[in-house]
Chains A and B, each alone.
Chain A
Amino acid sequence: MSACRIAVLSGKGGAGKTTVAVRLAQAAASSQRIWLLDADAEEPNGALLLRPTLGDSHPIEAETAVVNLDACTGCGECVERCGFQALSLIAGKAKVSPSLCHGCGLCVRLCTRHAIKTQSHPIGTMVRGKSIEGISFLEGRLDVGQPRATEVIKQSLDALIENEDAVVDGPPGCACSAMLVSRRANCCLLVAQPTPMGVHDLELAVEMLGRLSIPTGIVINRSTARGDALVETLARSKGIPVLVRIPEDDRIGDATQSLEGTGHQALFRKLWQDLKEMEA
């Protein structure tokens, strides 16, 4: 991977990932081409702060098993072997629960009557846009009721331009979707909420990143003396640098303020420079 791809994660939700990701992209945009990918597919908020002009959108699709009821004899082989409990026998015919199906195709190959095939169906939407700072914006949005956020994230990561730098606003937590975003990045920024719960979840995120080898830095958001001490203790013990501390200031998360309007542009430019150096 030649371009710089920065994953913004936090463990704890509400730590300020989106705010930091958007302001970081704005800081980068003053000197270069930059992408902002909102990869928090379950709850994408990047556009609410960046306010890009939205362009074309197109559906994101995933494979799901479909049963031809005329051909199905109800033998139950597929029901028994499906690893995701996505099939059940109802009135002597196999029935797929689309919300559980992973589209692996095992049932398709098992069925001696060729009664099952996989078919793609929409699970989300990919939206493109451009901000006034010139940031290329991309959002992967999971449809409500669909479980497969990772598929949406995977396809939106694929849509980034290979050799252009990108800031990727990741999902909260440290399950597979956060892992996916980290694995496709070459540098990770952890946004720390300086409270006991924030630091507890941050530690899980650090542990997750420990399974990869990826340069990582911490930014403390809504910095407070006693909270910062908790983050710093963790950072020291894990050998991760605390790059900057962002003060509590309503202007930073205010969508009507430009980066300059927040009064903290120097801080976010420094953060961008630090991350570029770490990645290099």
Chain B
Amino acid sequence: MKEIVVLSGKGGAGKTSITAAMFALTPHSLAVDADVDAADLALLTGASTIRNDIFMGRKIAVVDATRCNGCGRCERKCAFGALSLEGRKLVVDTMSCEGCGVCELMCPRGAIHMQPISIGTWQHAATPFGRLLHARLLPGEENSGKFVAFLRKDGRSKAKALGCDWIWTDGPPGIGCAAISSLSGADRVLLVVAPGESGLHDARRSLELANQFRIPVDVVSNRGKDEDAVAVEAMAASMGARSLGAIPRDEAFVEAEFAGKPVLSFASEDLKQQLETLCKKVLEAA
């Protein structure tokens, strides 16, 4: 079983549209939407939920007011500024608390304990193309990296159980904790590059990250003009990635999004063939 992660750096490059098409074109595949704070793959794959669970992703400090005497020792040691004293009353800012447990350790009166909380839900869904695993981070929550790691691990065991040969993972934008978490242990990256200077700038950072992980990368220019495709090819060549050409701007992607389907059912023969070739080349190399 091999896992291919679709990244772009810049948001809105077309990761999800391309992932949906690749997923639909790959028999015996499973898809994971690793963009847990803005998961859209279900919107393009006709997903119907078959399992829905809560993810307990972090801990927060909880104060027992009957024991706390407001000494402030914990407040001074909190690295995240999550504790404050209002007079003698200790208040926890649950959005800043990272659940490290330093306050619990520092408290001489045993007035603080760490309590696990939910940071979102995760779903198994059936689609016409195979199983989809996706999640919904509670808006504003942290630890999306941990959530991504959990979802990918679950994806691997589910793929194994279902006898899937391939996992297509729709990655998060950016290069931070969620993107790092989406890469570890992946077999190959498909980097979708948005047109223009910013698309190239952001893709270069993602490529650098994948190179740090020593994961082989295929690069495809999306929606660009000729000069964008040339620049993308030059970037790939200079950074040791393989260039797989360009997918043109095409209204079919917009129609497909409004219809909630992968682009294939709206694509011209030309576009379909381009996507099939892209998929075949990535799978062959993985």
Contacts and interface: CB of A to CB of B under 8 A. Distances in A.
Nearest to B93: A183
Contacts of B85: none
Contacts of B245: none
A136 to B, nearest CB: 21
Interface residues of A, number: 58
Contact of A14 (B10, B105, B258): B10
Contact of B202 (A43, A106, A196, A211): A43
B87 interface: no
B175 A144 contact: yes
Contact of B140 (A45, A179, A255): A179
B106 interface: yes
B100 A175 contact: no
Interface string A219-262: 00000001000000000000000000000000001010000000
A138 interface: no
A182 to B, nearest CB: 8
B139 A205 contact: yes
A195 B257 contact: yes
A42 to B, nearest CB: 3
B72 interface: no
Interface string A198-231: 0011001101101100000000000000100000
Contacts of B137: 174-175
A204 B38 CA distance: 7
Contact of A147 (B40, B177, B205): B177
Given A13-B173, A43-B174, A149-B176, A196 B198 contact: no
B79 to A, nearest CB: 5
A179 B137 CA distance: 12
Q: Of B10, B11, B201, which is in contact with the most chain A CB atoms at under 10 Å from its CB?
A: B11
B280 to A, nearest CB: 26
Interface in A49-85: 49, 63, 81, 83-84
Contacts of B144: 173, 175-176
A147 B102 contact: no
Contacts of B98: 83, 102, 104
B13 interface: yes
Contacts of B201: 43, 45, 48
Nearest to A149: B176
Nearest to B99: A83
Nearest to B196: A253
Contact of A106 (B38, B105, B212, B260): B105
Contacts of B173: 13, 42-43, 172-173
B9 interface: yes
A177 interface: yes
Nearest to A175: B37
B178 interface: yes
B10 A13 contact: yes
A174 B139 contact: yes
B95 A183 contact: yes
Contacts of B125: none
A14 B194 contact: yes
Nearest to B200: A48
Contacts of A146: 176
A30 interface: no
A41 interface: yes
A142 B209 CA distance: 12
B35 interface: yes
A172 B9 CA distance: 11
A173 B177 contact: no
Interface of B: 9-13, 16, 35-38, 40, 43-44, 59, 77, 79-80, 95, 98-102, 105-106, 114, 137, 139-145, 172-180, 194, 196-198, 201-202, 205, 208-209, 212, 254, 257-258, 260
12 contacts: A18-B198, A41-B176, A42-B179, A43-B173, A48-B198, A83-B114, A104-B79, A109-B106, A144-B212, A145-B180, A175-B142, A182-B140
Which 8 residue pairs across A and B have the least CB separation, nearest first? Answer: A13-B11, A14-B12, A42-B174, A208-B139, A104-B100, A176-B142, A147-B177, A179-B140
